Structure 1
Amino acid sequence: MNQKRLKQRISNFLTGEYFTDALRITLSIITPAGVLFALGLAQPAIGVTLGALLIALTDLRGTIEDKRTTTTVSILLFFLVSLISIAALPYPWLMGAVFFLITLGCSMLTAYGSRLSMAGTAAIVLMIFIWGLNPTDYWFCLYLLMGGLWYYAISLLHLWLWPERYLRYAISEALLTTHNYLQVKALFYDTDLTLKDCYNQAILSHTRVSEAQQQLRSILLRDKAVMHQDNRTGQVLLHVAEKTIDLYEQITAIHYDYDFIRNQFAITGALDLIQQMIRLLAADMLHVSEMKPFSTRPQQGTQTDRQLTQLTARFEYLIKKENDSNAAILSQLLANLKSIYADIQEIDHTLRNETNVIIPAKTQVEYQHFAPFEKLEWKQLVSHFKISSPIFRFSLRLAVTCLFCYLLAQVFVLGKYSYWILITVVVIIKPAFSLTRQRNIQRLTGTLLGIVLALVLLYFVTNTAILLVFAAVFLLVYFTFNRTHHLVSVIALTPMVISIVYLYGNSGWGFVLERIYDTLIGCAIAFGATYLFPSWESSRMLFLCRELLKSNLHYLEKLDDALSGKPMNVTAYKLARKSVYLGQANLSQSFQRMLREPGNKAIVSEYMYHFQMLNHMLSAHIASLFRSLSMQDNADPFADRNRVKAVRDVLFQSLLLLDPSPREATPDDSENRLSESLHLSPEEYKDPFFSLKTIGGQIRLCCLELRTVLA
């Protein structure tokens, strides 16, 4: 990495969302703590600091309405939980019942999404801290309330000063993940890599793109102020967001039969030129994604114009040397690359000239249909109170485990800070087995490394003020990496806690030893609890495969409508595209989690990989055909509609094969298997509709095998 790039990365980190948020959160927490401790108000200082800290844990990226709703619910929930917990403290049997019921109820908030899920987790942590700290009166509830209101005021001020801040970061992240996907696309032209590895990387990269796009939709489309027609900045950012999502479709549309491309152009030098051009486009996207959100002056544009011009000239020279058939393929690919470059330049120009850029007129889209559903309704929560619900099973698992840990602490003398066992359990246990196991490893590793760091710090630093500064720095690091690198955040959290307890708890070095065995006990209990009311990913595979096939069928219907000459319904088309992207991401995420489950529960089948790859190819081909239609490139719409109908019929048959009800193999299964596995000629490969039919047939054969595997 050159020096310029290193400086750029450091600058991006220091001005990025995670560090600046962490700095604000840390200052919001330590400021009231420092003032109150300086005034000799130790109990209020602990209560206010804890209240601010817990509200900060729920402060996720979102609109001002999101933050207002989450913070209001959290403050009221924390106040109620603290009242109930303090009232139950003198009665161990009642406290046990409170542990179970509050843990169960707060965990069920996962039904409302990640925001209220974090609020529920923070409420459980608060209950555990109250049990461990054992406050003497109800004033502690008021201190918690004051801490929450203090942090809420700071958060609102921050959003008032920079209302579009999170939206800009969401756009940046969507561009960055699309840049990563574009880099993966370059690998398909590298003959040293297998196509299977390339497709696996593309599917994983697509999942990250889909997550970023969904986050962008959530922040943009549900922000009434930004979406208002009179908000010029909002309309500019809406245009950029649309172009960013459309750009991803354009990138997926660069799809061919890569076996054919590799064999046909391996010795011409075309593959190397394509790789270089794609990587230069990716470099441009990276540059655009790294624009400073608060810059008040136009920044320098992209830097690859000259290089791309030279590579384009060389590519055009190669095209002239090819025969007509191959020249047509390369010309189409070059046209796609130029179109991607034009879109990147438009996004770059728009972001650098927000105040005077002219937003082009476009077809009206009904944006409300794209916003993720986030409503707080009782029926949404009540519907999950059944044993078949993964959320209820997770909540029951966590509640039983917390009650077990509480009873364990009542029966055995585990130490002064035994409540850290419960904290460890709550932090580690997640709805999915794979996430729990991953958190278990990260928690154990991070705690042990953090303890080593704390021991070194306490050995060499004896000054109280310096130790407090280090504790603040560790808290800053914790919040910086809490959402992105859990291991790093745990490493930072451990010495921070040890330093504070060492200074104000008069615990001496014995606390360090207790922290080690508390973590070991908590990790062991959390790991054992993963087998309690489990919800295995393998049980969802059949459903997710069917949902993805349904989405691709719907996407094909929109292609058929376009071929029929009907006016394009942009909203319906983009909704179909979104459904396919989310279906691919959901299946990929679930499959990756399943691979980390116990061997006897995971379905490790080559056909699952193949099914994902084929559906990825199918959606890419459909996107490519939509692009061709937009350029009026269809010569025979009637014949093309018939071929699309044939593919839809094959996909519908595939859907029936994955029907969960028992079904015997039909007599023509083997015949279809034989006919659809024949090799295709080069001329057939060049016909996109024939390739579409071929992929459809392969999906059907794959479903024949999956029917047995997933039964």
Structure 2
Amino acid sequence: MKQHNPIDDFKNFMYTQYFSDGVKITLGVLLPAFTFFHLDFLEIGITLSLGAMCVSIADSPGPWLHRKNGMTYTLFFIFLTALLTALINSNIYLIAIEIFVLCFLFSMFYVYGARAASVGTAALLIMVLNIIPGKTSLKPFEHSFLILGGGIWYFLLSTFFSTIRPYRYAQQTLGESISEIADYMRLRARFYGNEVTVEENFKDLVNQQVKVNELQDNAREALFKTRELMNESTNAGRLMIQIFVDMVDLFEQTMATNNDYNTIRERFKDSDILIAFAETIDKIADEIEYIGFCLIHQEKPQKHALTLKDLDDLKHKIDALEAKGISVLILKKILINLRNIFNRITDVYNYFSKETSELRTSSTPAELSRFVNHQSFDWKIFKNNLNFKSSVFKYALRVAIVCLIGFFVGQAFSLGQHSYWIILTILVIMKPGFSSTKQRNYERVIGTILGGIIGAVILVFIKDETVRFIFMLVFMLITYSFIRIKYFVGVIFMTPFILILFSFINVDDSATVIASERILDTLIGSFLAFISSYILFPDWESAQFRKFLPKMLKANLSYLEHIILRQSLLPISVTEYRLARKEVYVNTANLAAAFQRMMNEPKRKQHKIKEVHKFVVLNHILSSYLANLSASFLENSATINSEQLKLIRKSRFYLEEAIEKIDSDLEGSTKTKLHIHLSDKKAESEITEQLELITKVSADLSKISERI
């Protein structure tokens, strides 16, 4: 089956939320300027477009209610900021005070999450674009109300898009999250070949889990915070919720295939059985991706890439090895797991043909809402972060100081009327963490230089304004489609789009002058932003990383306890179990993402990197063993005997010991009493074997925690 990557395959990309947003933002920003240009009121059109562009920043992917609230607050803040800046921009000292105060205030919005931060970014953008006096002939109130009008226009346009396609975002996000599970499955297939080492593949696997968790979180938000979907009032709503629930369960099963792959490679190196397993797992990944593709493209799945015959052929190969006297027990277990995954995929295929009444989930809206995070906007959160213990406070102070320096640098060296680009570059590049700032810095500088060259070439060699306008339109569409997912690509095309735009506004400026100013200002701003992340209240990931370690251990401990509690005299609900499982996924992703950020920091700031990496991998292996244990309990309807209970208690002891070594404050850790009805039956060997593996890796975690 042909693979469809939503970024690389253009046809598929056109169906994603990113391209939809690109079209919407391009329309929202371009239409006012284009319309008023033909009415000979270009300045009014540009001002309206500026308001629309700012509000689009807060219209980032998410449930409509969140987007609506974000855009509403943005309208309020950009109006006030535009008015204040227009009234005082002739006084350099008042502007300097405003830059410092507003940069600090709006940067502190990070304490309320990414969407609130985007509201602050929009307000700061309006401030920066208005700090140079005389840029507009409009009066302050006229200018501010036009900014507000442009923002309202974009808000109405976004509302229209959301109304005519209420479920489209949910479909796209769900489809993309499923595609990431397929990529995770393909990485699993690599364990059965020799292209990469087992250790390297584990590293890639953990990194991919970060992507899976991020998109699953987005899908949860889209599905469980949309009232119509939660009430399951339509077949589409029921279908999406049921598919999502099953796909999270399927992801757990893909994790339940963890084994000693070095031993497997060595034992079966003289056979082609591992190649057959890799091919089968790749076909399963194609199946999963096809489901995601069908959701994105609004199609009904038609045929399987994998059939029961493929699985039967794999079984015959295993039987042939067994007939030669080779132990194949581990291969049989893997095959059983693959059959279970295939059966679950078949169930999902069948959902597309089921009647409405058959698709109702067992969970209530109240239960489903527990799976999504609810952001509080309490003033106390802001107040409690006003100290140097808060990374957001240090970031906000850093932004305020560096933007002020950037402003005075532009004034002191008279870097043309576009010197505000220095401050804009600082605001875009600077992020709370060092590694994020470093990455943005590289992408911004290289992207601006490449884009500047492209823009200058177009302005020098193409004089026809219609052709230039078409180029600008295409560049805008690419910019707004990619800026949130491939920032580097977005910057490359944003620069020529802005240069062409300025060529229409400032007809007297040459292409080389505009491009050189843009590049020079970007280089100055990026230098100030990057150097400040080293010397001005630096916030190293190594200092923050430690807080993720006990949370990860507690999540895995809770997961173990919830798996066992399902076998107890008073079994827990499916919702409680799934919440515990979700915590493992979330904390694994947080831990892996933090590790990635730490790896991008200077070597002298990377403390005990080998031990930390081993800790990350061991926790991923433990999560996989736990998923396998959970699947084994369900398949065998097994009860727990005294021998297994001892192993469970040992595992709990090692994990609690590991938590104590890293964090002596055990508040919030689980101390659940397990009321288990012990069976007199002979031990279920598969369950016992799983518990032995869990105990061993728990002991290893305790040892590595002491070294960390």
Same-fold call, TM cutoff 0.5: yes
Deviation for aligned residue 1:360: 6.6
Specify the SS of the correspondent of 1:416.
Answer: coil
Unaligned runs of 5+ in 2: 666-684
Pick from 685, 696, 699 the counterpart of residue 697 of structure 1.
Answer: 699
Q: Distance in 2 between matches of 1:491 and 1:66?
A: 30
The yes-or-no answer on 1:14 pairing with 2:14 is yes
Q: Distance in 2 between matches of 1:335 and 1:561?
A: 25
After TM superposition, the structure 1 stretch with the greater mean CA deviation from structure 2, 528-537 or 6-15, is 6-15
Specify the SS of the correspondent of 1:524.
Answer: helix
Q: Distance in 2 between matches of 1:167 and 1:489?
A: 24
After TM superposition, the structure 1 stretch with the greater mean CA deviation from structure 2, 310-319 or 469-478, is 310-319
Unaligned runs of 5+ in 1: 662-682, 707-711
1:29 corresponds in structure 2 to 29
2:646 corresponds in structure 1 to 642
After TM superposition, the structure 1 stretch with the greater mean CA deviation from structure 2, 8-17 or 424-433, is 8-17
Count of residue pairs the alignment pairs up: 682
Specify the SS of the correspondent of 2:539.
Answer: coil
Residues 563, 640 of structure 1: 8 Å contact kept:
no
1:434 corresponds in structure 2 to 435
1:50 corresponds in structure 2 to 50
Residues 18, 481 of structure 1: 8 Å contact kept:
yes
1:291 corresponds in structure 2 to 294
Q: Distance in 1 between matches of 2:187 and 2:69?
A: 39
Which runs of structure 2 are paired with 1:222-241 in the superposition (5 Å)?
A: 222-241=225-244
Change (3 A) 1:357 1:225: closer
Specify the SS of the correspondent of 2:294.
Answer: coil
1:312 corresponds in structure 2 to 314
Specify the SS of the correspondent of 1:70.
Answer: helix
Deviation for aligned residue 1:151: 0.6
Deviation for aligned residue 1:184: 0.8
Q: Distance in 1 between matches of 2:372 and 2:229?
A: 14
Deviation for aligned residue 1:475: 0.7
Q: Distance in 1 between matches of 2:577 and 2:221?
A: 19
Q: Distance in 1 between matches of 2:657 and 2:45?
A: 66
Change (3 A) 1:92 1:179: same
2:90 corresponds in structure 1 to 90
Deviation for aligned residue 1:51: 0.6
Deviation for aligned residue 1:363: 6.0
1:553 corresponds in structure 2 to 557
Deviation for aligned residue 1:582: 1.1
Q: Deviations over 1:191-216 (max 9, x none)?
A: 45322111111111111111111111
For 2:501, give the aligned amino acid. Answer: I
| TM-score, L = length of structure 1 | 0.91
For 2:483, give the aligned amino acid. Answer: N
Deviation for aligned residue 1:146: 0.8
Residues 595, 613 of structure 2: 8 Å contact kept:
no
2:417 corresponds in structure 1 to 416
Change (3 A) 1:472 1:684: closer
1:300 corresponds in structure 2 to 302
2:673 corresponds in structure 1 to none
Q: Deviations over 1:163-186 (max 9, x none)?
A: 111111111111011111101111
Q: Distance in 2 between matches of 1:202 and 1:293?
A: 24
Which runs of structure 2 are paired with 1:131-530 in the superposition (5 Å)?
A: 131-132=131-132, 134-135=135-136, 136-137=138-139, 138-291=141-294, 293=296, 295=298, 298-305=300-307, 308-309=310-311, 311-318=313-320, 320-321=322-323, 326-350=327-351, 352-353=352-353, 358-359=358-359, 362=362, 366-505=367-506, 506-508=508-510, 509-530=512-533
After TM superposition, the structure 1 stretch with the greater mean CA deviation from structure 2, 186-195 or 414-423, is 186-195
For 1:314, give the aligned amino acid. Answer: H
1:669 corresponds in structure 2 to none
Q: Distance in 2 between matches of 1:3 and 1:172?
A: 14
Q: Between the two proteins, what is the percent identity of the paired residues? A: 27
Deviation for aligned residue 1:415: 1.2
1:573 corresponds in structure 2 to 577
Change (3 A) 1:476 1:624: same
Q: Deviations over 1:269-298 (max 9, x none)?
A: 332221111001011111111115463x63
Deviation for aligned residue 1:387: 1.5
Q: Deviations over 1:441-483 (max 9, x none)?
A: 1111011111111122112210112211211111111011101
2:671 corresponds in structure 1 to none
Residues 595, 604 of structure 1: 8 Å contact kept:
no
Residues 79, 141 of structure 1: 8 Å contact kept:
yes
For 1:45, give the aligned amino acid. Answer: G
Residues 30, 49 of structure 1: 8 Å contact kept:
yes
Q: Distance in 2 between matches of 1:92 and 1:8?
A: 48
Deviation for aligned residue 1:622: 0.8
Change (3 A) 1:418 1:452: same
1:680 corresponds in structure 2 to none
Q: Distance in 2 between matches of 1:579 and 1:202?
A: 18
Q: Deviations over 1:376-398 (max 9, x none)?
A: 22222222222111111111110
Residues 174, 244 of structure 1: 8 Å contact kept:
no
Change (3 A) 1:484 1:267: same
Q: Distance in 1 between matches of 2:106 and 2:5?
A: 45
Pick from 654, 674, 689 the counterpart of residue 658 of structure 2.
Answer: 654
Change (3 A) 1:258 1:6: closer
After TM superposition, the structure 1 stretch with the greater mean CA deviation from structure 2, 49-58 or 601-610, is 601-610
Which runs of structure 2 are paired with 1:673-692 in the superposition (5 Å)?
A: 687-692=689-694
For 1:704, give the aligned amino acid. Answer: E
For 1:206, give the aligned amino acid. Answer: Q
Moved over 4 A (4+): 1-8, 354-357, 683-686
For 1:52, give the aligned amino acid. Answer: A
Deviation for aligned residue 1:8: 10
Q: Deviations over 1:187-241 (max 9, x none)?
A: 1122453221111111111111111111111221111221014343222211111
After TM superposition, the structure 1 stretch with the greater mean CA deviation from structure 2, 22-31 or 223-232, is 223-232
Q: Distance in 1 between matches of 2:191 and 2:697?
A: 18
Q: Distance in 1 between matches of 2:701 and 2:7?
A: 48
Residues 4, 293 of structure 2: 8 Å contact kept:
no
Deviation for aligned residue 1:699: 1.0
Deviation for aligned residue 1:437: 0.9
Change (3 A) 1:413 1:161: same
Residues 128, 420 of structure 2: 8 Å contact kept:
yes
| TM-score, L = length of structure 2 | 0.92
1:112 corresponds in structure 2 to 112
Q: Deviations over 1:112-137 (max 9, x none)?
A: 11112111112111101011363341
Specify the SS of the correspondent of 2:130.
Answer: helix
RMSD: 2.4
For 2:323, give the aligned amino acid. Answer: K
Q: Distance in 1 between matches of 2:283 and 2:226?
A: 34
Residues 647, 696 of structure 1: 8 Å contact kept:
yes
Specify the SS of the correspondent of 2:607.
Answer: coil
Residues 59, 67 of structure 1: 8 Å contact kept:
yes
Change (3 A) 1:50 1:391: same
Specify the SS of the correspondent of 1:530.
Answer: helix
